[in-house]
Structure 1
Amino acid sequence: MPNHSSHLKYYSWEQVGKLKEVSSFEHLLNWISGEFELNLQLDEEIFKVYFPNGFFTVQKTIFYKMDFEYRIVIKSRCKKTGIHIHDKIEKLVLHYINSRLNRNKLKLTTI
C-alpha cells in the first residue's frame, strides 16, 4: 500500500509490490528507465533516478520461492514535483501490470 508523508524538508512516497518472475522486474525496470531516460540514472544494487529537487529508487527486496517484492521510494524537496513523479511512476507500473495480465490472457486463450 502506498505511503505518503510530508515532512518539513521533503515529500516522500513508498510502495511495495510483488511480481512472479525476475524477468518481469527487469522489464518493469526497463520501462521506468525509458520513461526517465533524460534524467541522471544510477543502476547499481539499487536503481536510482535523479530529478530536480529529488530522486527515486527501485529495488528488489524480499525473495520467495517463485515471487519477490520490489520497493519504489520517492524523496523530493518539492511536494508538487514529488506528487508529479509519483503519479507518473504509479501510472507506468499499473500499465505494465495490466499489459502483462492481458498478455497472459492471450497466451491462455490461444493454446
Structure 2
Amino acid sequence: MLERTGLVTFGGKPVTLIGQELKIGDRAPDFELTGNDLQPVRLDDFRGKNLIILSLPSLDTPICDLETRRFNTEAEGLGDDVVILAVSMDLPFAQKRWCGAAG
C-alpha cells in the first residue's frame, strides 16, 4: 500500500497517509452505510447526483457540529444535483437526534 508523508500534521507532528491521493472525478468505491432511519444507504442511491462525502468522528463534538452545519448551509446554494452525505461514527439514533435539533 502506498504511504505518503510530509502532507499532514496532527498536533504538530507529521502523519503518514496510506493509499492513493483522491482527485476530482475519481470514482468512489461502492459502499453501504446505515442511515439514521436504520435503512441501508448505498453509493447507487445517489446515481446522477454530484455527491460530496463529509467524514467526521462525531456530530456531538463542537467542531464536527459546526462543520456539518456549515456544509448544510453551503449546500443549499449548490442546486438539486448536489448531495452532501455526512458520515460519522455516531449511532443512527444519535444522528437522527442531531438532524432533528439542527433543523
TM class, shorter-length: under 0.3
Higher-RCO chain (CA-CA 8 Å, sequence separation at least 6): 1
Query: Which has the larger strand fraction?
Result: 1
Query: Which has the larger helix fraction?
Result: 1
